[in-house]
Amino acid sequence: MKTRSLAPGAYLARSGQGVSLYDADGKCFAMNKMGGSILALALTGLSAEGIADALRHYFNGTPTQSRDEVAAWLDEMEASGFLHS
């Protein structure tokens, strides 16, 4: 299990069709419901594989492709400074 948390000062806000994540400087990362689900599961400590498995009925493609897509999304969130692990 990989421990992830929101970056210091970051916060979530629900929007009409999903979730918006703001950092301490006000930079916003808007995501749809799927992104919000991935984020919520990531914050519980699930791995990319565990998240892909939990949401498998939403993904097209193989389990490996789904895991890789989730991992890339999480990496982007960390690289953008919204998540820490």
| Domain boundaries along the sequence of the chain | 8-80
Q: Which residue has the tokens 């979730």?
A: 19
Token pair belonging to 21: 């994540």
pTM for this entry? 0.86
Query: Which helix (H) or strand (E) covers residue 29, if one does?
Result: strand 28-32
pLDDT (average), residues 8-30:
90
pLDDT at residue 76 in the model:
93
Q: Cα angle at 20 between 77 and 51, to 5 degrees?
A: 50
Convert the pLDDT of each residue in 23-81 to its tens digit. 999 999 999 988 999 999 999 999 999 999 999 888 888 889 999 999 999 999 999 98
CB 50 within 8 A of CB 41: yes
Token output for 8: 């210091």
- Residue 39: helix, strand or coil by DSSP? helix
* pLDDT (0 to 100) of residue 1: 63
Distance of CA 14 to CAs 3, 47, 68, Å? 23, 24, 26
